[in-house]
Structure 1
Amino acid sequence: MDKNKGSRTNVIGAGEAGVAVTVDMDKDVIHKTNSLFWDTKGNEVLGATALPLYGAFVSEENHRLLGDVSGKKILEIGCGSGQSLLYLGQGQRQPAELWGTDISGNQIGKTRQLLAAHGLSAELICAPMEDQCGLPENYFDIIYSVYAIGWTTDLEGTFARIASYLNKDGVFIFSWSHPIHKCVAAEKDTLVFKKSYFDESWYSVALGEDTLSLTDRKMSTYVNALAKAGFIIEQMVEESDEDLLKAQGDSSDFAKKAQVLPVTFVIKARKL
């Protein structure tokens, strides 16, 4: 396969995302490309993944990674259009404070509107997760990110910043598309490797009239970056939840794929 071109499995779904073209890792260009994507048609193209789901076939309600959030100061990295913050703010959960960051000003606006419509509020900041953006240090009890961390252009730097925002013993939970899922596609009832698991190069994908830039990191890259930032991993989820698979039905190629390999992973880590 041409190193500079190839097909990639969609970031969330099982279908092909189109032709991927290898690009140089230019932080500013990638931020501009991805913020424009989410400002315009991001939710329409990829949909929104939010709590209680951590991604395809993995839910908070089954795994209880967050635990009791009452009285806790909570930050979401990549808050999107606000559904996860709404989930945490409703009912009997009663966190002390809700905060959120996102690279897209349009998404921040949607979050503010959604929360206001339900009588809730949050401190919201529009900035790349890699940047110094005025968030308080040694302040939060829980920081989480649902299908957003994978967009960072600097994984080690992002994890170091997240560690600086957390109190000692604070919890960091994040999910993303499993790297094995990103390598494998379903073709005529057969799973086929479409790219090398070890290829972490940045690539650009055209989705209709829209473009996004991504990289597929190895699992060890996430684990080592967490360790370097001073985290210890307490739990990792790779398996799909049986009840969610059954609800999807056996006819879906994506569900069939999820029965034999992980499509989502979630890591719960604690700041030492």
Structure 2
Amino acid sequence: MEIHSAGDDDLDLAHDGPDDVASGPGVTRRPVTAAENLRASRGWWDADADNYQSEHGEFLGEADFVWCPEGLREADAKLLGDVAGRRVLELGCGAAAAARWLAAQGADVVAMDLSAGMLRHAEQAAARTGLTVPLVQADASALPFADGAFDVACTAFGAVPFVDDSALVMREVYRVLKPGGRWVFSVTHPMRWIFLDDPTEGGLRAVHSYFDRRPYVEYDEHGAATYVEHHRTMGDRLRELLGAGFTLVDLIEPEWPEGHEQIWGQWSPLRGRLFPGTAIFVAAKPSD
């Protein structure tokens, strides 16, 4: 799971791109090229890998499949079905805790991520747990696998929101799945983009347009993007899935569980009890 909590309460909406002279690092909403997006994503997660694991590794576990900050686990939700003996691809695997959990359930798993820094943590965790899965460094919009190579594909907050063309990711996943294969992914709930990334009462006031699809961009003193994340509406996500050929099986909006007091960035008990923070899409490739 890879979730970045973006501090967007001081968006510089006047800054349109790297051709402008930036007075210093900041945040904005502006278009990015595919190359700029890829460079920023790889650089961010490589640089932040150690900090991310230090902050969230205990919550995510060494070999556990946690779908979201609400704490929904695949062991309870069973969104992937019986994975024993199944060929499974985890996109945006981060430190691959979910892939190791899947391997422990008898799945034949491949874990993939863009970031070498995150995959380094996956290797270290494999050594600690004795659960080793193949690790692949690749871009989710160009999957290096043959057609029909997998029975199941999944990701918990990985890949999908960080790619400029997420519709292409859907088509690529469709391609590498066998007929009847299942594709399950979790992302920040689209309605959360209306609000500031603030776990307190300050995050209860709607300030952004739900229909503003410009990427959220953090940039350096030269105006170059250092972090990019993309908003899509609920309808956008459904059209991406259906356009790729998938059928929608279910849409899960996990409720905030009683007794869960952990704050993860903008996710908090205060906000979680009022409106959803995560959307989990469960889709299937039709059988021949």
CA displacement at 1:15 relative to structure 2: 6.6
Question: Within the alignment, does 1:237 sit opposite 2:233 as a pair?
Answer: no
Cα distance in 1 between the residues matched to 2:136 and 2:102:
18
The correspondence for 1:36, drawn from 40, 43, 67, is 43
Give 3-state SS (helix, strand or coil) of 1:74's partner.
strand
Q: Does 1:146 align with 2:156?
A: yes
Paired position in structure 1 for 2:141: 130
TM-score w.r.t. structure 2 length? Answer: 0.79
More strand by share: 1
Aligned CA-pair RMSD: 2.7
1:53 to 34, 58, 66: 66
SS in 1 for 2:260: helix
Which of 94, 100, 106 pairs up with 1:94?
A: 106
Q: Deviations over 1:137-179 (max 9, x none)?
A: 2121110011011111111111111011111000000001111
- Which string of whole-angstrom CA distances, capped at 9 and with x for unpartnered residues, describes residues 39-96 of structure 1? 0114625846855321121332332212221111110000111211122223xx111x
- Alignment partner of 2:98: what SS? helix
CA distance in 2, matches of 1:12, 1:152: 14
5 Å matches for 1:176-191? 176-185=187-196, 188=201, 191=204
The verdict on how the C-alpha distance between 1:105 and 1:14 changes in structure 2, with shifts beyond 3 A counting, is closer
User: Aligned equivalents of 2:56 and 2:150: distance in 1?
Assistant: 28
- Unaligned runs of 5+ residues in structure 2 are 12-26
Report the counterpart of residue 246 of structure 1 in structure 2.
259
Q: Which residue of 2 aligns with 1:202?
A: 215
Q: Does the C-alpha gap of structure 1 residues 168 and 254 become closer, same or farther in structure 2, counting only changes over 3 Å?
A: same
Cα distance 1:61–1:123, how it changes in 2: closer, same or farther (>3 A)? closer
* Residues 132, 266 of structure 1: alpha-carbon distance in 2 compared, 3 angstrom cutoff: closer
The letter of the residue matching 2:100 is L
Partner-residue secondary structure (3-state), 1:204: strand
Residue 63 of structure 1 is matched in structure 2 by: 77
- CA separation in 2, counterparts of 1:110 and 1:264? 25
Which residue of the partner structure matches residue 3 of structure 1?
none
On the 8 A contact 1:52/1:60 being kept in 2, the answer is: yes
The alignment-based identity, stated in percent, is 21
TM-score by length of 1: 0.83
Deviation track 1:19-43 (CA, whole Å, cap 9, x = no partner) reads: 3312322111111111111101146
Secondary structure in structure 2 of the residue aligned to 1:37: helix
Counterpart Cα distance in 2 of 1:14 and 1:157: 25
Of 179-188 and 75-84, deviating more is 179-188
1:223 paired to 2:230: no
Q: Aligned partner of 2:249: which letter?
A: E
Q: Which residue of 2 aligns with 1:8?
A: none
Among residues 166, 177, 183, which one is paired with 1:155 in the alignment? 166
One-letter code aligned to 1:113: Q
